[in-house]
Structure formats: C-alpha cells, structure tokens
Copies of this chain bind each other. A is one copy, B any other.
C-alpha cells in the first residue's frame, strides 16, 4: 500500500496512534538539530529513526562543520576571515547549483551557529592545525578543509581555514557530535521512536498533517499538528534512483552513508515537492595520505594534467572522475613518495629513473607524459604554474629520481561518494513545490535537500554538516512556529 510513498488522505486514516506538534523523520545531525530547536520553541516533538539508534551518515563523518566569518579559532591563528569572503566562497563552491539565499543566510549566521553548537555542549579546542589534512590527526579543531587557497577560489574569497572540527582525538568526530546533539534533544524532552520507517505522508487537501510510520511491521499513524520535518539523508544506497537521476555516480564504487535510500526525497515529491540538482554527487579518494602525496601531480590516461592539484582532495577527485579511461595517475618523485595506505586501493602502475621511463611503463606515447612533466617542472622551479595556477608550497618540482605513477582506479580504488541533490527548500526549511510555493506542513533539511553542498566539483569538507546542522535548526524552528 505504501511502497510507492503515495500520500494518504487524512480521511483514510483509521485512527491516530501518535499525536505531536512536530514529527521529525531521521536521527542524524539534521534531525537532532531540528528536534532541539522545535522543543526549544515549545512544541511537542516526536523523532522517528529507522535504525535502532541515532547516527545516520553524520555519525560516519569527521564531525567537521564549515564555519567562517571570523571565529575565535580563526582569529587566534591570525586569519581575519570576513562574512563577505566566507559567503563568496560558499557561493563559488555551489557553482552553477548554488542557492544564493542559503549561502547568504548561513554566511551571516555562521558565527551564531558556532556559538549555538558550543551551547549544546560541542567542545572546540579552538586551535588551528596547519597542513593538508582530511581530518585532524590529533584533537585540533580548525583545519583547511576546502579549496580556499587554490585558484580560482583564492581570487574571489580571501583564504582562511574554515573546517571546524569537534574536539576529539583522531578521526571520527561525527559519532561524538551526534551523541552530544542526541543527549541535548533527549534532555529537552524529545520523544524518540527507533526502528520506525516512514512510508507515507498524510495530507488534508494541500496540507501535510502527519506521517505513516512502519513500526513492528504495523502501520502507525502519526498526527503532526504543526508539521513534518524530513531529515532522512540522500539516496546513495538507492541504485534505481541513482540510475534515473545520477547515472554518472556509477563511475565510482564506494557509497558512504547509512541506509540513505532517498525516502525523504520520495515523500517530498509525493506531495508535489521539487527535487533539484539530482545529478550531483560528492566523491573523494584519500590521495593526500600520506601528507607528502599532496605534492603530487595528476594526469589522465593521455598524460595530461587536468586540475591545479592544490585544490581540496574532493574537487581533484571529482574532476578526476570526469576524465576518460576509468583511471588517473598520481605522479610522485622520491622526495615525496611513501607507500600509500592500503585502505585507498591506490596501486603502483609504473616507475622509472626518468619521466620518459614512467611514460613507457604506462604505455603512453613518447613525448606525452614526459612533456607534461618537463613543462610542469620547468615552471615549478620558477614558482609558477601557468597552465593550472597551482600555488606554493604544493607547487614543487618533481625531479628527484626515481619516479612513480600511482593508479587511482575509479572502480577499484576507494572513491567514496554520496549524493547532493534533493528537495528544494526555503532558507526556513519549507519544502517548495515546482511552482516555488511552500507545501504547508512540510519541512526538510540535510541531504534529502539541495543545500550548501550543491555541486560535486565545489564541495569542501564540513559543508554538508554545516548545512545539516544549521538548516536542520531552521526547519525545526519554522515547523514549531
């Protein structure tokens, strides 16, 4: 009956099993933040989670949130970031998919949001860790997490590190971040139901007035007097949806998330919601580990460079996946090569005492890759990269023999990915229909929406959690209003 997520008319509800003001669907960071704000606004809140506990994709992340405009940590480290630069970067990172209104609001409000996170109990040591890191390896809480210092971003927005990470020793800050938000939601009196899967919205005419939850193999009817907030994540684990809306994502093979099957998007669309930028996905392969590998040069199977390699690892990876031939090569010399992590599935494809030898081992035509590297090295020695505008200190000649070409294979290397497209929402989290009008009673945030991280080629670490936590709050507050 509900397999197609078709809405149920309120007249067909046999009786209410639950009654609340705001029903939040999904207990990752988005749902937790929505619940906290809705409770703070005085509304009764029920939170439903299909798993047996909180987490979602948020708990699998590094717990990093993209925050700028002049935080304590930025100032302490000597960066004078401004709202203008921060906002400009957010827009540029959204590329052709940018939601200007969301970028502008978050640009203005991020400092307050940072304080709010602290107020919930999220610890920040407040110190900056220099270097190129995917996540801090110690308990530092500020890193460069995007392409801020790289062209063309550096010319539009003055660079500053904006990856604010929960204080947590080593990787994996996402889990403690969600734990803190969960504790806060519980303390505020959120009624939490686990092992509960959403199967349909309940509508009274054009208004969403509740949701049908599947609990213990039984349909349970939830009346939500003020609204339903969808916080169910993206659709990376729904292959049929990806085939229809995001077929390029099949170039890579390591989906990350937690049961992200697109249910929130389907529920939103079932009542007329608009789903946008559904072809967009984030992907990254951890090629900056060990850190010395950040100095490498990337070429495609034609032996051509295709990006300034000082960009964020995800931007480089996403551009790599655009290249033909199913793989790219990362070139290193002995001054920079170390054995890559096993995790990454990066293999050694060729070696040589000269770039000509590497070229021959890769079966590339004589004068292809070697010409690329001769040109690169010649300019790198002069401290410039006239082709792609890579910057020092990442810009360095690779001329210490022997040389190596690592293969990043889109199928067999670890290109993790998740989807970015989703429901179109206002800055208050109202779900919009295709004519741009809000659907009464329906709100959404996080990866079941298209938000701050709208464009795979511009993603920066922390943009998704920034979007989840900030616009999750917005949705919860608006729903409770």
Q: What is the oligomeric copy number?
A: 2
Further contacts, 11 of them, CB under 8 A, given A270-B272, A365-B386, A367-B378: A4-B433, A96-B248, A96-B250, A277-B279, A302-B305, A302-B388, A304-B304, A367-B371, A367-B374, A371-B371, A371-B375
Q: Find residues 454-480 in chain A having any chain B CB closer than 8 Å to their own CB.
A: none
Interface string of A244-260 (1 = CB under 8 A from B): 11011010000000000
* Residues in chain B near residue A371, CB distance under 8 A: 367, 371, 375
A310 proximal to B (CB < 8 A)? no
Show 12 A/B contacts (Cβ-Cβ < 8 Å), sorted by A: A4-B434, A4-B435, A4-B437, A5-B435, A96-B250, A244-B277, A245-B276, A266-B434, A278-B279, A364-B386, A367-B375, A368-B375
Cβ 8 A contact of A365, one of B303, B379, B424: B379
What is the CA–CA distance of A277 and B244 in the complex, to the nearest angstrom?
Answer: 7
Q: Find residues 162-218 in chain A having any chain B CB closer than 8 Å to their own CB.
A: none
* Residues in chain B near residue A386, CB distance under 8 A: 364-365, 368
Q: Find residues 422-448 in chain A having any chain B CB closer than 8 Å to their own CB.
A: 424, 433-435, 437
What is the CA–CA distance of A367 and B96 in the complex, to the nearest angstrom?
Answer: 33
* Residues in chain B near residue A247, CB distance under 8 A: 95-97, 277
Interface string of A374-413 (1 = CB under 8 A from B): 1100110000001110000000000000000000000000
* Residues in chain B near residue A387, CB distance under 8 A: 302-303, 365, 368
Q: Find residues 1-23 in chain A having any chain B CB closer than 8 Å to their own CB.
A: 3-6
* Residues in chain B near residue A367, CB distance under 8 A: 371, 374-375, 378
Given the contacts A96-B247, A250-B96, A269 and B434 also touching, CB distance less than 8 Å: yes
What is the CA–CA distance of A274 and B5 in the complex, to the nearest angstrom?
Answer: 13
A239 proximal to B (CB < 8 A)? no
* Residues in chain B near residue A434, CB distance under 8 A: 4-5, 266, 269-270
* Residues in chain B near residue A245, CB distance under 8 A: 276-277
A322 proximal to B (CB < 8 A)? yes
Q: How far is the CB of A325 from chain B (nearest CB, A)?
A: 10
Cβ 8 A contact of A274, one of B244, B304, B388: B244
Given the contacts A247-B96, A435-B4, A375 and B379 also touching, CB distance less than 8 Å: no
Interface string of A326-366 (1 = CB under 8 A from B): 00000000000000000000000000000000000000110
What is the CA–CA distance of A279 and B247 in the complex, to the nearest angstrom?
Answer: 11
Q: Which residue of B lies closest to A302 (CB)?
A: B387
* Residues in chain B near residue A278, CB distance under 8 A: 278-279
What is the CA–CA distance of A244 and B98 in the complex, to the nearest angstrom?
Answer: 10
Q: Find residues 113-136 in chain A having any chain B CB closer than 8 Å to their own CB.
A: none
Q: How far is the CB of A430 from chain B (nearest CB, A)?
A: 16
What is the CA–CA distance of A61 and B5 in the complex, to the nearest angstrom?
Answer: 41
What is the CA–CA distance of A266 and B322 in the complex, to the nearest angstrom?
Answer: 31
Q: Which residue of B lies closest to A385 (CB)?
A: B365
* Residues in chain B near residue A269, CB distance under 8 A: 434
